[in-house]
Chain A
Amino acid sequence: MVKKYTSMAYAKADDMLFGNAKFPVKAGLGLEIGAGFTTPEINYAPRPQAGKSKDKLIKEYERITTDVMARMVQIGAPSIVLETEHVEQMSNNPEWGGAVAHAQKTIMEEYHDEYGIKCALRHTIGDIREDRDYLQLRGDKYSVFLEAFEECAKNGADLLSVESMGGKEVFDYSILRNDTAGILFGIGVLGSMDMEMIWTDIAKITKKTGTVAAGDTDCAQANTAMFIAGGLLDKNLAHTTAIVARAISAGRTLCGFEAGATGPGKDCGYENTIIKSISGVPIAQEGKSSTCAHSDLMGNVTMQCCDLWSNESVEYHGEFGGTTVQCWSESLAYDCAMMNTSLKLGKGKDLRDILALSDKYRDPQGYVVSYENAYKVGQAIAKDGNNNYLRAKNAAIESCNIVEEGINSGKLRLTRFETNALAKVKADLVALTDDADKFMSESLTKYKQEVGVFRLENYGL
């Protein structure tokens, strides 16, 4: 049984600030994350042909690592985190992932020894627990999955993460059909159950290997909603629906920290400000410097409380200014220098507010993740923290209330479609039972029937 959060880490929203976490995390070579300064976290993907063999992959990651470390030294950056998000070949063959981690860490140690640069290596294992037709969250695939974590930890990775997929089969079906109960069930109930299982086991591995259980993100679900929602003119999904999925995801992602993770939470978790308000763990975030990977209408607001500042992902190749990892890590480092300067000058909170306000009224998603609203969603979660279903429902309703307040203020201007979608999702939520067992029972019946690939054994049911 994991210990659930039922209170807030911070007494008030204004206490939250970038570069400062209530519970900083020591990691890697001389780095302490959330201890009064921000650090860039560069993330990259190998070129397509690099996946052909283990040797090619290792070479690719050696080039990437050397490029980043050299550029950080060239521009005088005091610290850097490298995040290697596994390609499937590395997680399905744990020895490959371990070999890449070893190669990368060897290079990082050389730079640390020679220049004293503080650095850490995050490996994000791929959630490989699927066969072609079904999620296979438990069983043989799970053994390989855990082995991949352990191999990376033993061979040099300092921070372990994953973007886990529990509940995605129901979520994918529901998000395309405006099915609010299904979104809540997929993320808030099934996703939470899976999170509690995997993070209990990952935390055991990190304890054994002396590494850091860094955390998860609801990339597979809330980010899918955000991605489908797109920009202002896209008509694929109401942004008001997307922010409800995001609010629900906070309760799910929090389960990782309840099961033993200590942070820094992963960059693409746009729910991370909510997580930080409840747990006090350091968080990575992405925004304007992740436009190389996707567009999300939240370029600045996400920087408001970050401890690591990331670019999400960029394919490794050449640009005029060097390789992509050199260009993007340099941009991230200058952003961090700006934040760190404001902290030294005692202007951090002003900068935080400017960052938040520059996006707050752009979109309902940015409005809700703006730190003072994120804090309110955190309170809604903590209020019923012991009940995964109720806290997800609370968060969803609170996010609807927050958006309504924004509309009523006249500052958050939405289309009729967006406000209609908001009214629909809120009505759906309010109509749901408060009885978690009843919701579970009804949902199991409904989605077993409607979603052909939904298998109860994945959740120990």
Chain B
Amino acid sequence: MLDLKLEDIDGILVRYNVALEKEMTPDEAAEELYPKDELIYPIAKSIYEGEEDDVVDGLKAAIAAGKKPIDLINDALMVGMGVVSKLYDDGIIFLPNVMMSADAMLNGIEFCKSQTTDVPEPKGTVVCHVAEGDVHDIGKNIVAALLRAAGYDVTDLGRDVPVDEVIEAVVKDKPIMLTGTALMTTTMYAFKEINDKLLEKGLKLPFACGGGAVNQDFVAQYDLGVYGEEASDAVKIADAILASGNDIEKLRAEFHKH
């Protein structure tokens, strides 16, 4: 076939990502962020590495040294996950690393819970679902994992969820936010129905929506809708609610990009 000369390629495309790549490796960047406490350090590092067994070993050592299991959730597991989240936000590590770290962290939380009768205090509850008629749930699964990794309790209703079931979960769990994902145009209309039923019941909470065919214009059509372009926006929206309240207009001003 015809081919381009090496020197001609730059005039056709620019590899911006190569030009921007950080000097530090991800491991080096993580090392700078780990806490220095010798009991916490190995736990945080194991979370970054996604090594579930090592996380539990680290927790056992910390408990044996006198740390309270319930305190280790916030003081060690969440700290380790914070390192991972920062590196992801900074574009230094990829999503699969975050997912594996989240698995390790959740495993660690379960271990801590098994070692105490104290009940951990979550940051808040978020209800997640995929629209009725739609079975594509990889986006929702990413959203749920990232929310859990950020310390939220997640009620995961799964996929193809009937409108009334979503309403019931909101009534029961009193979440700070509801999320909905959809891949197809005719399933995402369910979001509008959920919005209307929530308002009928006087339930005003942010309803963060995203996914394949979902766009900002559609989400902005219903009163509670806040559009999330990326799965990681769900965590940012939840954090914004905790920090500044659940004013939909304010959230739209911050998260509607177009």
Contacts and interface: CB of A to CB of B under 8 A. Distances in A.
A206 B95 CA distance: 42
Contacts of B141: 172, 176
A39 B92 CA distance: 44
Given A49-B189, A88-B184, A361 B160 contact: no
Contacts of A353: 1-2
A231 B15 CA distance: 11
Given A88-B133, A178-B100, A235 B160 contact: no
A238 interface: yes
A87 B185 contact: yes
Contacts of B135: 130, 132
Interface residues of A, number: 51
Interface stretch (B6-14, B34-42, B72-80, B147-155): B6-14
A314 B131 CA distance: 20
A237 B94 CA distance: 6
A362 B13 contact: yes
A110 interface: no
A87 B186 contact: yes
Given A130-B135, A353-B1, A415-B17, A235 B186 contact: no
19 contacts: A13-B1, A45-B185, A48-B192, A130-B160, A175-B96, A176-B99, A176-B145, A228-B95, A235-B91, A235-B95, A237-B95, A354-B2, A357-B1, A357-B3, A361-B4, A361-B13, A372-B1, A411-B9, A421-B94
A78 interface: no
Given A132-B159, A235-B88, A237-B94, A315 B186 contact: no
Contacts of A372: 1
A48 B185 contact: yes
Contacts of B218: 48
Given A48-B189, A232-B16, A361-B9, A172 B138 contact: yes
Given A176-B141, A357-B2, A233 B16 contact: yes
Interface string A39-57: 0000001111111100000
Contacts of A52: 189
Q: From B6, B13, B188, name the one whose CB has the most chain A CB atoms within 10 angstroms.
A: B13
Contact of A178 (B96, B103, B184): B96
B1 A46 contact: no
Contacts of B243: none
Contacts of A414: 15, 18
Nearest to A313: B213
Given A235-B95, A415-B18, A417-B21, 17 more contacts: A13-B1, A48-B189, A52-B189, A87-B184, A87-B186, A130-B135, A130-B160, A132-B158, A176-B99, A236-B94, A315-B213, A353-B1, A357-B1, A357-B4, A414-B18, A415-B15, A416-B25
A311 B63 CA distance: 58
B29 to A, nearest CB: 12
A237 B4 contact: no
Interface of A: 13-14, 45-52, 87-89, 130-133, 172, 175-178, 224, 228, 232-233, 235-238, 315, 350, 353-354, 356-358, 360-362, 371-372, 409-411, 413-417, 421
B94 A411 contact: no
Interface in B155-187: 158-161, 184-187
A413 B99 contact: no
A178 B189 CA distance: 34
B134 interface: yes
B215 to A, nearest CB: 9
Nearest to B215: A315
B203 interface: no
Contacts of A417: 21, 94
Contacts of B13: 361-362
Contact of A47 (B21, B94, B185): B185
B15 A413 contact: yes
A362 B185 CA distance: 31
A367 B133 CA distance: 37
Contacts of A410: 6
Interface string B60-93: 0000000000000000000000000000100111
Contacts of A411: 4, 6, 9
Contacts of A350: 2
Nearest to B188: A48
Given A172-B138, A177-B96, A228-B95, A416 B21 contact: yes
A415 B94 CA distance: 13
A88 B18 CA distance: 42
B12 to A, nearest CB: 7
Interface string B92-124: 111111011001000000000000000000000
Contact of A232 (B15, B103, B138, B186): B15
A48 B186 CA distance: 4
Given A51-B189, A233-B16, A45 B184 contact: yes
B33 interface: no
B142 interface: yes
A142 B100 CA distance: 34
A266 to B, nearest CB: 16
Contacts of A358: 12
Interface string B17-35: 1101100010000000000
